[in-house]
């Protein structure tokens, strides 16, 4: 079971709203809003010290309240967020040899593994360590730590995406296009992978960062893209049979400006698929979808991160519309069963977590949990209208822990690989009518001629044996 409750910790101030017109907005916040990339460090230099707190870089987000000796008092900048959220990202400069404690004064903003920490300008990240408090953390600074960055998670900015794409620049099956421009004029990336056009058997849409702050989803997207491009049976099959479109940063303005994005007012990007879209990038995506796939791709994978303490991967895909039974989600269920069966990475997806989540949501006509429903959705929690695919899988991947397994760039990428592997196997009906090409995605065991895959399924007991395309290799699928 995963936790959905968010109790207010002792000693912290309950969540509150800080809107644009909030009378509590002070001048420093206004300055940070007007000049998000300006250097505005001087007011926060502690007396007698050189410690500076900055957010003058892409993704930066912090409001400094005061520095008292070795204690720094801050809170996340909510900007246009409805209610509370927990994203922040700042740099500490000039703290060499010091030990500082950072206090978040408004609400809980530290995940279960503490903050992400980077000592190379945000290029690589590690968790600082298990948190002692959801509202504060302490860090010692070495003699070389001229700048250390901290964040709620492990920020992934547009520059990271560019570095990733640079590594694949020579792959002819990957093309970078422009989906459209944001309100601020930034070009939104649209990646085309595999076999575009009518010859492809399957159209797969992958999106991330509808909610700007959900950066760990970007590492999953990297893994998924990697799987398409790698020299493996999985990669070759995907490139041959799938026309894949990826929009890795839907709310690019929010990503680069360091917004929460989640629950943005009047509604956020995920909720912008009803009626006329108010965000140009969503409007552009809907237009692209209509032209590319008649508004309905075969598989629609939207990557998210959930609430602050969730520790299970789950999906909204099994949430049936009002009046529908669970059978209405049969294509999704098959896909997710496949994912559970073929996954290899350390972060485990368990179908039951999503079944439980769907049941919990069904029990509530209105929800305020996690990536909740919006009234008027045909299917709560999934993209409405033109975003509906044949298989709709919106994944929530925890920021920091899946069970006891840490979420890191590598483990998140491995989950992306697992999703790709599930695409191959489910597209070929391995768990149904089975066939040859899909079996090639299952690597024979090194010792024998068979590989066994166990699938937990509450209602089915079935054993199947099928031939792998390589002579003499067989595999068994056991559903039990
Ligand atoms: Zn989200």
The domains located in the chain, with CATH, are 27-151 (2.60.40.3120), 158-427 (3.40.630.10), 442-479 (no CATH)
Distance CA 434, CA 334 (A): 13
Per-residue burial over 10-21, b if 16 or more Cβ lie within 10 Å, else e, is eebeeeeebeee
Whether the per-residue pLDDT at 15 is higher than 80: the answer is: no
Closest to 87 (Cα-Cα) out of 36, 33, 151, 35: 151
CA of 304 to the centre of ligand 1 (A): 4
Closest to 210 (Cα-Cα) out of 300, 270, 253, 161: 270
Select the more confidently predicted residue: 15 or 172.
Answer: 172
CA of 93 to the centre of ligand 1 (A): 31
Averaged confidence pLDDT in the chain: 79
CA of 104 to the centre of ligand 1 (A): 23
CA of 443 to the centre of ligand 1 (A): 34
| Residue 116, CA distances (Å) to 137, 333, 347, 397, 461 in order | 11, 34, 18, 16, 44
CA of 451 to the centre of ligand 1 (A): 36
| Residue 3, CA distances (Å) to 358, 393, 403 in order | 14, 21, 11
Whether the per-residue pLDDT at 385 is higher than 50: the answer is: no
Whether the per-residue pLDDT at 78 is higher than 50: the answer is: yes
Report the DSSP beta bridge partners of residue 198.
Answer: none
CA of 370 to the centre of ligand 1 (A): 8
CA of 212 to the centre of ligand 1 (A): 8
pLDDT given at position 326:
63
Whether the per-residue pLDDT at 88 is higher than 90: the answer is: yes
CA of 35 to the centre of ligand 1 (A): 27
Contact predicate 136/130, CB 8 Å: no
Distance CA 61, CA 373 (A): 27
Q: With cut-offs at 50, 70 and 90, classify the pLDDT of residue 271.
A: very high
CA of 465 to the centre of ligand 1 (A): 39
Distance CA 104, CA 12 (A): 9
CA of 306 to the centre of ligand 1 (A): 6
Strand-strand pairing, 242-247 and 202-208: parallel
Region 398-419: what's the mean pLDDT? 98
CA of 422 to the centre of ligand 1 (A): 22
No. of H helices and E strands in the chain? 10, 21
CA of 261 to the centre of ligand 1 (A): 9
Supply the DSSP string of 326-388, one letter for each residue: GGGGHHHHHHHHHHHHH--SSS-B-HHHHHHHHHHHHT-SS--SSS---TT-SSTTS--GGG-
Q: Which residues contact 101 (CB under 8 A, 6 or more apart)?
A: 70, 71, 72, 136, 137, 138
CA of 11 to the centre of ligand 1 (A): 28
CA of 368 to the centre of ligand 1 (A): 13
CA of 135 to the centre of ligand 1 (A): 22
CA of 397 to the centre of ligand 1 (A): 9
CA of 367 to the centre of ligand 1 (A): 15
Contact predicate 213/260, CB 8 Å: yes
CA of 231 to the centre of ligand 1 (A): 31
pLDDT given at position 323:
66
Phi/psi of residue 56, nearest 5 degrees = -90, 50
Closest to 338 (Cα-Cα) out of 204, 227, 456, 182: 456
CA of 371 to the centre of ligand 1 (A): 6
pLDDT given at position 376:
39
pLDDT given at position 363:
85
CA of 266 to the centre of ligand 1 (A): 16
CA of 208 to the centre of ligand 1 (A): 9
Distance CA 138, CA 292 (A): 50
Distance CA 241, CA 279 (A): 32
CA of 145 to the centre of ligand 1 (A): 33
Question: Could you tell me if residue 37 is left (phi over 0), alpha (psi between -120 and 50 degrees) or otherwise beta?
Answer: alpha
Going by the DSSP 8-state scheme, the letter that residue 81 receives in this structure is: B
Distance CA 359, CA 380 (A): 12
Pick from 105-119, 135-149, 258-272, 417-431: least confident: 417-431
Peptide bond into 266 cis (omega under 30): yes
Contact predicate 432/457, CB 8 Å: no
Whether the per-residue pLDDT at 432 is higher than 90: the answer is: no
Q: Which residues contact 5 (CB under 8 A, 6 or more apart)?
A: none
CA of 133 to the centre of ligand 1 (A): 24
Question: Over the stretch 200-249, which tens digit does the pLDDT of each residue have?
Answer: 889 999 999 999 999 999 999 999 999 999 999 899 999 999 999 999 99
Residues, beta carbon < 5 Å, ion ligand 1: 211, 214, 304, 371
CA of 170 to the centre of ligand 1 (A): 32
Question: Over the stretch 350-366, which tens digit does the pLDDT of each residue have?
Answer: 999 999 998 888 887 44
Select the more confidently predicted residue: 427 or 293.
Answer: 293
CA of 217 to the centre of ligand 1 (A): 9
pLDDT given at position 388:
60
Helix, strand, coil abundance in the chain, percent, nearest 5: 25, 25, 50
pLDDT given at position 3:
30
Select the more confidently predicted residue: 125 or 233.
Answer: 125
């Amino acid at each position: 079971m995963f936790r959905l409750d968010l109790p207010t910790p002792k000693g912290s101030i309950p969540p509150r709203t800080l809107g644009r017109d909030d009378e509590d907005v002070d001048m420093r916040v206004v300055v940070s809003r007007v000049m998000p990339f300006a250097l505005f460090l001087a007011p926060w230099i502690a007396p007698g010290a050189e410690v500076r707190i900055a957010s003058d870089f892409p993704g930066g987000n912090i409001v400094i309240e005061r520095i008292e000796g070795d204690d720094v008092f801050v809170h996340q900048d909510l900007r246009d967020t409805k209610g509370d959220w927990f994203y922040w990202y700042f740099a500490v400069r000039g703290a060499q040899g010091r030990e500082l404690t950072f206090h978040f004064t408004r609400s809980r903003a530290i995940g279960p593994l503490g903050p992400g920490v980077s000592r190379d300008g945000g290029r690589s990240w590690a968790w600082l360590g298990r948190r002692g408090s959801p509202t504060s953390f302490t860090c010692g600074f070495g003699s070389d730590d001229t700048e250390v960055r901290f964040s709620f998670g492990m920020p992934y900015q547009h520059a990271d995406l560019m570095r990733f794409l640079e590594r694949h620049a020579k792959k002819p099956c990957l093309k970078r296009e422009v989906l459209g421009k944001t309100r601020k004029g930034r070009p939104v990336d649209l990646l085309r992978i595999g076999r575009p056009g009518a010859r492809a058997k399957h159209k797969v849409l992958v999106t991330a960062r509808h909610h700007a702050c959900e950066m760990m989803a970007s590492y999953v997207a990297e893994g998924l893209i990697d799987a398409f491009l790698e020299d493996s049976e999985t990669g070759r099959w995907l490139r041959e049979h799938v026309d894949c479109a990826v929009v890795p940063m839907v709310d690019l303005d929010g990503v680069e400006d360091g917004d929460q994005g989640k629950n943005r007012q009047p509604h956020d990007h995920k909720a912008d698929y009803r009626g006329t879209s108010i965000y140009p990038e969503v409007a552009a995506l809907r237009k692209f979808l209509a032209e590319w796939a008649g508004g309905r791709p075969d598989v629609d994978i939207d990557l998210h991160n959930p609430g602050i303490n969730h520790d299970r991967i789950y999906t909204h895909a099994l949430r049936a519309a009002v009046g529908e039974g669970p059978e209405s989600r049969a294509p999704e269920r098959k896909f997710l069963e496949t994912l559970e069966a073929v996954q290899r990475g350390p972060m485990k997806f368990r179908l039951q977590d999503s079944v439980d989540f769907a049941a919990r949501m069904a029990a509530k006509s209105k929800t305020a949990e996690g990536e909740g429903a919006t009234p008027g959705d045909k299917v709560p929690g999934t993209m409405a209208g033109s975003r509906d695919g044949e298989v709709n899988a919106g994944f929530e991947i925890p920021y920091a822990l899946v069970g006891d397994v840490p979420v890191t760039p590598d483990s998140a990428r491995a989950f992306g690989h697992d999703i790709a592997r599930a695409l191959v196997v489910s597209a070929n009906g391995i768990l149904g009518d089975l066939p040859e090409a899909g079996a090639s995605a299952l690597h024979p065991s090194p010792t024998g001629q068979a590989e066994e895959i166990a699938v937990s399924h509450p209602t089915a007991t079935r054993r199947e044996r099928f031939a792998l395309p390589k002579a003499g290799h067989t595999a068994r699928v056991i559903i039990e």
